[in-house]
Structures are given as C-alpha cells and as structure tokens.
Structure 1
Amino acid sequence: MIDEILQRQLSTALSEQLKVKIHINDAKSVHGGDINQTFRIATNEGYFFLKLNDAKRYPEMFAAEYAGLEALYATHALAVPQPLAYGSCNGQTYLLMEHLIKGVAIQDFWEDFGASLAQLHKKTQPHFGYAAPNYIGTLKQYNTPYTNWPVFYAFNRLLPLAKIAYDQQIIDQNMMYQMERLCKRLPQLFPADAPALLHGDLWSGNFMVGQDGKVCVFDPAIYYGHREMDLAMTRLFGGFDTRFYYAYQAAWPLSPGWQQRIGVCQLYPLLVHTLLFGGNYYNSIKEILQAY
C-alpha cells in the first residue's frame, strides 16, 4: 500500500484532471518491469496505473515520460495509456496514467501495427533530437539537435554510452577505438532520411493488445531519429511477427541496404542493456563492432 500523504496527492491530481472527486480505495503492487515500482490504483471511478521511483536519483524521469506519452497520444498513430499526472512526494517521483485492459488481438493485428508505426514515423521536424533530454530506462538520453543523423547518432547516442561503459571497464580500449572508427563511417552507411518521431524503446515488453484488439504501446523514450532505429529495436529479444515488417514496408519502404544497418542501429539499445543489466549483450556489441 502507498502512504496516506501520497494517496491524498494522487487523489487531488486525479480529481483536478478528471473534474470529479476521486477517492483511492486500494493500491495493489503489480509487475511493471525492472525499473520502477508499479501499482494498480483502485478508485471510485475505476482503476489507474501508478509508477514510483527515487526523486533524488531521477527527478525528471516521469516528467519526460509524461511528455513522451502526450506526444505519441497527439499523433493518433499508435494508442498509448493516457498520461494523467506526475509529481513528487516524500522523496518519490510518480507518474499516474490510464490503466490498460488487455483485449483479444484482431485478425490483422500485426499488419495494423506495422502500418501504424509507419504512420507515426511520418511525423517529422527539421532536425534530429528533441526539445529536452529524457530517459531510456534509468539512463539519461541526450537530444541535442542536429540536422545530420550520423552526427546525432554518434554524439548523442553511441559515444556517450560507450564512454560510460569504458569508464566502468565494461568495454576495453580496443572496443572504444572500434566504436570511434564506426562513428566515422556512419555518413557512408546511412542514406538521407527525414527525422521521424520514434517510440525509442520499441520491444516486445513495451506493447500489448489493447481493449479494442489493436496495439497499445508504452514506456517510450521518444525523439526524432532515423526510423530504422525503431525497426532494429523490434528485432531484438525475439523480434516481432513477420507480418509486422511486411506491412511496414508496404506502407513506407525503407531505403536500400537497411538489412546491413540493423546491427549498427541495434548498438544503442545493446549498450543501454549492457549498462543496465549486464549479461551477454557485451558479446553482441563486440560482434557488431568487429564487422567494421
């Protein structure tokens, strides 16, 4: 159960957002990944979903996630849980949002998912990046704007995390050199593509079948980037159904050579998982770098 002070703050936030008096009856701890404490909040107006984390360590994490959900919600391309409130209380930071109800997948679920992602990616802006830094997991994600994708990917994604991994003695000097060498080759590897609004952390653990039978995504780490980043991420950790990829290609074909760029695009999420969870991700990074 969450403490009474936080309950009162959440009740007030929900009441202001929904324009009706909200009473919290119960808060049940539920599984919500490895990063946050998560709860299903029972109220007189139904259920809501709550995330909690350390306010001192991650003061802006939920503010950034709230903004990311709002940005995705506004596109009407992919369903997301509606963000309702964020704030801090007693040393904890919180994010309150719609509680999702699982449904039964429609017959063409994967085709609809692929086409919907392509629709999201068509939302663009003049530069790669985002208005402010945000998070992927508990790692700060830098979004300094650049008009050039290879420069953005090198200086905002690969090199900062590689430096952290090197400082923590996860990768050695030779791998750091290989990473720097790859970054110099990025302009030759990536063709020009417009900045696309990305989910940013799109793997099988961050979507579900919604009540309407279509996809609903959550836990975004949004920014405007190269659209192959989202697609490469979907191929990690088991991958998506083949129909998803065919539908995306039918809706908006990728540039030639995309198959050869999958590993390069996967380097960023692999570095993230190496820093957060350790494990065998190191070997995957090493294998990709050795190819360049």
Structure 2
Amino acid sequence: MPPKIDPAILKALSLDEANTTISSHGGSGFVSTFKLTTKDKDEKEKLYFVKTGKGRECEIMFAGEHASLNAIHSAVPSLCPTSHAHGPLSHPPNTFFLATDFLALSSSPSSGASLPHKLALLHSTPAPIPPGHTVPQFGFHLPTCCGDTVQDNTYHPSWSTFFSECRLTHILSCAEKNNGPDTDLSSLVQQTCSIVVPRLLRDGHLRSAEGSNITPVLVHGDLWSGNHGRGSIDGGAVEERVFDPSCCWAHSEFEFGIMGMFGGFGGRFREEYWGVKGKDEPVEEWEDRVALYELYHHLNHYSIFGGSYRGGAVRIMKSSLKKYGDGG
C-alpha cells in the first residue's frame, strides 16, 4: 500500500487526494524525501519534491530553504525550483514539511545559459533595504541552515562585522557545543577575526571591480557540486540548476569558499564567471579572501562531522595569520 499523504501537504498545495500519490525519492542525512505526483484540473501531470523532518531544527531549515529558493528564483528564475509551501504536518507532532517543484535531473545538454553566467547574474542582484534600516544590510530576514547548522543571519551594515560575528564566531560556538571546548581552535578563530578579517574585508579596503564599496548581493551559500545539477521542471527545458540553498545577502566571493573546498568548479568556470562579473579589488588578495571564506565551511563541517575538518581550518588560519599577522 502506498504511503498516505499528510492532509497538511494536500491543503497547502490545494491537491485532490484521489488524484495524488507519494513515493520515496532519494535520501538525505537530515530529512526524508519524496516525489509527489498529481494531476491538475486538465488532467496534466504535476510533480512536487517533498521533504519531511522532525524537530525545531527542521522547522527552521525548511523555512530558510523555502525563502532561499524563492529569493534565487526571483532573481534568476531558471536557476532553481520554486518552493510552494512549508509548515507543520498534521501528524505526528513536531514534524514539518517543505514542498518544491520536482527537478528531473538529466544528462542531456543544457539549452539555457551556463551555470557561471547564471551565478554571476545572481551575484549581481542587489539586496533590498530591510524594514527598520536605511541602507541594504548583510544578512537575511530569517535563519538558514548550512547542513544542519542553523546560521546567524542577523543584519549588519558591515561585511567584515557580519562575517566575523555571524559566521566565524558563531560557527566556533557551534563546533565547541558539538565537539567540546577547544582552547587552541578558539584562540586561532579570535586572532583571525581580530587581525585577518579586518585586514582583508574592512570597509573601504574591499571594493567592487568598479572601485566602489561592496554591497550585499544574493548568494546560494552552500554551492558545492552536490547541490548543482542539470534538469527540467514540469517537462520544460533542461537547464543548469541549483538546489538546497542557505542564502544570505553577502559578499559575492563568499560563494567561492565552498565551491573551492570540494572542487568541481575549475578555472574555465571562474574565467567565464569573471567575464560577466569581474574580480573585486584588491584583485591580488582574491585567493586569500576565498581561503578565509573556505575556512567557514571547514569549521562548519568540523562542527557537524568532527574529525579532520578541524585540521583544514587550523591550516588556513595559521597560513593567513603568518601572512597578515604582522599587519602586512
């Protein structure tokens, strides 16, 4: 007997249970995933991708992913699926769902713009001015999750402050909560935040390719090769797509931290990207900035998985402090 569809999902998507089925599809370390198949009033098939999970963490994760997908879709519509609904399931208690377009992955060539071109367009999307503020802010209007880490997206007008406080300091706190106090790691993170971050990212020093102060733009936030694919939605064209985002309004180069950590986005990708959106200034510090952004993801992976990711974080911090610790 096929699994029963929770009434909350049917209601949120305005679906007729008699014309709708659900089946397991794929898998995740954090949640359960399904393909939901239904028919519209014209008997045309429509597919949805559904995630379910238990606990407050999943409630936060799904709300953040819903907002992230729709922010990306608003900026570059062909880049990701639309998210249609999220919220609590009818039963069991304390369980939640997310329902998005179903992305049918394909090995066929893409008929649309390349991924580096689309990503450069995404990174050219300026942040709106949040309520209660007079200028665009770095951050996001709600928490998002990178893996199962709930990120602090508190708004800040300064990128160096946001990155130091809401990324490095916050993830250190998460890592120590999950793996125990670590005096040496804590000292390195504190030194990096007080010395390297202001040296490379301070206001007025970090500038756009045009020479102006950087402004917050939309980033995916967790763009490794496993969160990118080629596929179609609702039987449409096969295009380059991204999924599982953890968005925020950030410095565009922050995206390259996770992209470089696991590979899959080589020199040709970067050259095409820079052809649309040039490197920020100082250009000669690009690799050092990206190493700093990669540091966050080493710390996040250490927080989640433990093990050797700590060593990668330590290596980046010691190298950065050796280069910039004398104020050079």
In structure 2, what is the Cα distance between the partners aligned to 1:94 and 1:139? 18
Q: CA deviation at 1:175?
A: 1.7
- 1:282 shift after superposition: 1.4
Is the counterpart of residue 101 in structure 1 residue 104 in structure 2? Answer: yes
Q: Give the alignment's Cα RMSD to 1 decimal.
A: 2.3
Contact 2:221/2:246 (8 A) holds in 1: yes
Aligned-partner Cα distance in 1 for 2:292–2:20: 49
Q: Per the alignment, do residues 250 and 170 of structure 1 end up closer, same or farther by CA in structure 2, a change over 3 Å counting?
A: farther
Whichever of the two has the greater Rg, that structure is 2
Residue from 289, 292, 296 that aligns with 1:264? 292
Q: Is the 8 A contact 1:37 1:53 kept in 2?
A: yes
Retained in 1: the 8 A contact 2:37–2:47? Answer: yes
The answer to whether the 8 Å contact 2:221/2:255 transfers is yes
Q: Which of 165, 173, 177 is 1:163 aligned to?
A: 173
Aligned counterpart for 1:134 among listed residues 128, 139, 144: 144
Distance of 2:2 and 2:303 partners within structure 1: 30
What secondary structure does 2:105 align onto?
coil
| 1:84-122 alpha-carbon deviations (Å, 9 max, x no partner) | 11111223100011111123453798x721111111111
2:324 is aligned to none
Q: CA separation in 1, counterparts of 2:155 and 2:189?
A: 21
Q: Report what 2:42 is aligned to.
A: none
Superposition deviation, residue 163 in structure 1: 2.0
* CA 232–14 in structure 1, closer or farther in 2 if over 3 Å, else same: same
Residue in 1 that maps onto 2:230? 209
**Tell me, what secondary structure is at the counterpart of 1:177?**
helix
* 142 and 24 in structure 1: CA distance in 2 versus 1, 3 angstrom threshold: farther
Match of 1:40 among 12, 35, 57: 35
What does 1:271-286 correspond to in 2, within 5 Å? 271-286=299-314
Mapped partners of 2:228, 2:269: distance in 1: 13
1:245/1:88 CA distance change after superposition, 3 Å: same
Extract unaligned runs of 5+ from structure 2: 40-44, 128-135, 208-213, 322-328
Q: What residue is the counterpart of 2:52 in the other structure?
A: 52
Matching residue of 1:116 = 118
Distance in structure 1 (CA, Å) of the matches to 2:149 and 2:243: 17
Distance in 2 separating the partners of 1:78 and 1:104: 17
Deviations 1:180-236 (A, max 9, x none): 111112121121422111111111111110233321111110101111111221112
The answer to whether the 8 Å contact 2:225/2:259 transfers is yes
Q: Supply the distance in 2 between the matched residues of 1:170 and 1:264 (Cα, whole angstroms).
A: 23
The CA distance in 2 between the partners of 1:204 and 1:23, in whole Å, is 38
Q: Identical aligned pairs, as a percentage?
A: 28
TM-score between the two structures when normalised by the length of structure 1: 0.89
Superposition TM-score, scaled by structure 2 size: 0.80
Give 1:1-292 correspondences, 5 Å limit: 4=4, 6-15=5-14, 21=16, 23=18, 25-44=20-39, 45-76=45-76, 78-89=78-89, 90=91, 91=93, 92-106=95-109, 112-125=114-127, 126-169=136-179, 172-185=182-195, 186-190=197-201, 191-192=206-207, 193-211=214-232, 212-255=237-280, 256=283, 257-291=285-319, 292=321
SS of the equivalent of 1:94 reads strand
Q: Are 1:77 and 1:117, in contact at CA under 8 Å, matched by a contact in 2?
A: no
| Letter in structure 2 aligned against 1:64 | G
Deviations 1:26-74 (A, max 9, x none): 3222223322110112223332211011144433321221111111111
Q: Give the deviation of 1:166 after TM superposition.
A: 2.8
Pick closer, same or farther for the CA change 1:138–1:43 going to 2, 3 Å: same
Q: CA deviation at 1:242?
A: 2.9
For the residues of structure 2 that align with 1:108 and 1:171, how far apart are their CA atoms? 51
Three-state SS of the structure 2 residue aligned to 1:118 is helix
